[in-house]
A and B are shown apart, each in its own frame.
Chain A
């Protein structure tokens, strides 16, 4: 049996940048053990499994260890692949049924927009030890979606963060962000650290932008912004706050197209 497989770099228009995800497309859903085994072989943060179901698509995401309830970059990678392969109408939105409910994707030229929840939090004090591990002086910290969102004064401070991940592991996930330098073409930049779930630094993170978009929208007084995630791979996003939703837009590039040959 052959299972079509795609490896896609999401939130970038260049190979080897953005966040890589694998996408497997099947006519009917695969057994859970098969999906987990494929994800475990992949060495990628997430593998998406998509199958068609009466006008919508069923979508599930697996890490090498377990199924996860939501994944932004693998959803973008899946939408990109369905359109590129002619499996979805380019003029219609794609509707995904997932563990996190109905998610939609729409396309405008080579930008894909995902409709995700807007996540807001409350002001807290960043523990002294976390400040020291990150080497930052917070301007403002909020607790949002079980993670710290830490605003610092300059872009340089974001780029310079080089944490001891073993020391950061007992603490919640951390987003470090700053207003982008004037003339950079971006409104804000960020990085995302999650050693508590085994990811030291995530290259480009959809869910972090569900928190960053309402935060910077209120601060900068504009609903639409250009964002850059300043990991070593790097990724670009357009974000727009729309009531209690965030529209996350990005590009994607296919790196590998093939098929798994199983039970042979």
Chain B
């Protein structure tokens, strides 16, 4: 029987039960992929991060209950929080090796800053299935990993209804559909939906901001922006457009600290 440290962290929030919950599993060495997927499926969290020390860096992977992800912001923030707040990591900077290249996270006064790739979205055609599933039409459609649907007002983002049965006919793994608009008292607001996933709406999505930041930086002509994700749990993200990179900052709260027991 193998026992490993396991945490649940609420990321991109400073209050418990807000933000996006992530599992964080602390490993000494990799388990078989099948077992990583089983753990992510069993705990049912939107994403579970697994990491292994690699010299001065950490190898990092993310799984949803269904698939391995290419990039995940909130579970990376959660991992950095576990390293700093729960495991006493001494440095200010944490470096992760991932499928999306090297990712750096710095911490200052409980605020974590993710240095992530910028994924500038380009104008795109909206697939018919997505169009038919929407109760209101966007003013612009762009795409990088995710479809980015731009609306005129914050109310559109809050009130939009998406026909789940229709949109579930399309698979855009590992991507999703971002709904966004300028905010009333904040630079921009968004929501994120993943067709065919057990969690249809993601509470707070760091990786979606890899595309939202370069888009809104261009539209608003600003480098530094504050964003809200308008899910039920809600999340706050402090954003910086830094050319080929984006900086995404947020807070985190540890909700569960424990041990996971697995056969090996």
Residues of A bordering B, CB below 8 Å? 5, 7, 14-16, 20, 37, 41-44, 166, 254-264
Task: Check if B259 sits within 8 Å of A258, measured CB to CB.
Answer: yes
Task: Check if A258 sits within 8 Å of B258, measured CB to CB.
Answer: yes
Residues in chain B near residue A15, CB distance under 8 A: 42, 261-263
- What is the chain A residue whose CB lies nearest that of B254? A261
Task: Check if A258 sits within 8 Å of B256, measured CB to CB.
Answer: yes
Residues in chain B near residue A262, CB distance under 8 A: 16, 255
Chain B, range 33-68, C-beta contacts under 8 Å to A:
38, 41-45
Task: Check if A256 sits within 8 Å of B260, measured CB to CB.
Answer: yes
Give A163 Cβ to nearest chain B Cβ, in Å. 16
Write the B9-52 contact mask toward A (1 if CB under 8 angstroms, else 0). 00000001100010000000000000000100111110000000
Task: Check if A261 sits within 8 Å of B261, measured CB to CB.
Answer: no
Is the C-beta of B253 less than 8 angstroms from some C-beta in chain A? yes
Q: In the complex, A20 Cα to B42 Cα: how many Å?
A: 8
Task: Check if B6 sits within 8 Å of A258, measured CB to CB.
Answer: yes
Q: In the complex, A43 Cα to B199 Cα: how many Å?
A: 10
Task: Check if A259 sits within 8 Å of B44, measured CB to CB.
Answer: no
Q: Which of A16, A37, A43, A260 contacts B256 (CB 8 A)?
A: A260
Task: Check if B253 sits within 8 Å of A264, measured CB to CB.
Answer: yes
Task: Check if B257 sits within 8 Å of A43, measured CB to CB.
Answer: no
Residues in chain A near residue B45, CB distance under 8 A: 43
Task: Check if A259 sits within 8 Å of B42, measured CB to CB.
Answer: no
Task: Check if A254 sits within 8 Å of B261, measured CB to CB.
Answer: yes
Task: Check if A256 sits within 8 Å of B258, measured CB to CB.
Answer: yes
Task: Check if A41 sits within 8 Å of B255, measured CB to CB.
Answer: yes
Q: In the complex, A14 Cα to B42 Cα: how many Å?
A: 13
Residues of B bordering A, CB below 8 Å? 6, 8, 16-17, 21, 38, 41-45, 165, 253-263
- What is the chain A residue whose CB lies nearest that of B262? A15
Residues in chain A near residue B259, CB distance under 8 A: 256-258
Known contacts A43-B43, A43-B44; A260/B262 CB under 8 A: no
Q: In the complex, A161 Cα to B264 Cα: how many Å?
A: 33
Q: Which of B21, B38, B256 contacts A261 (CB 8 A)?
A: B256
Q: Which of B8, B16, B165 contacts A264 (CB 8 A)?
A: B16
Q: In the complex, A43 Cα to B6 Cα: how many Å?
A: 16
Task: Check if B263 sits within 8 Å of A14, measured CB to CB.
Answer: yes
Task: Check if A259 sits within 8 Å of B263, measured CB to CB.
Answer: no
Residues in chain A near residue B253, CB distance under 8 A: 264
Q: Which of B16, B38, B254, B258 contacts A16 (CB 8 A)?
A: B38
Task: Check if B257 sits within 8 Å of A255, measured CB to CB.
Answer: no
Apart from A43-B44, A256-B258: 14 A-B pairs, beta carbons within 8 A: A5-B258, A16-B42, A41-B21, A42-B44, A43-B45, A255-B261, A255-B262, A256-B43, A256-B260, A257-B261, A258-B6, A259-B258, A261-B255, A261-B256
> Top 6 nearest A-B pairs by Cβ distance?
A258-B258, A43-B44, A16-B38, A258-B256, A257-B259, A256-B260
Q: In the complex, A166 Cα to B259 Cα: how many Å?
A: 38
Residues in chain A near residue B42, CB distance under 8 A: 7, 15-16, 20, 255
- What is the chain A residue whose CB lies nearest that of B44? A43
- What is the chain A residue whose CB lies nearest that of B253? A264
- What is the chain B residue whose CB lies nearest that of A263? B16
Task: Check if A5 sits within 8 Å of B261, measured CB to CB.
Answer: no
- What is the chain A residue whose CB lies nearest that of B65? A43
Give B76 Cβ to nearest chain A Cβ, in Å. 21
Task: Check if A259 sits within 8 Å of B256, measured CB to CB.
Answer: yes
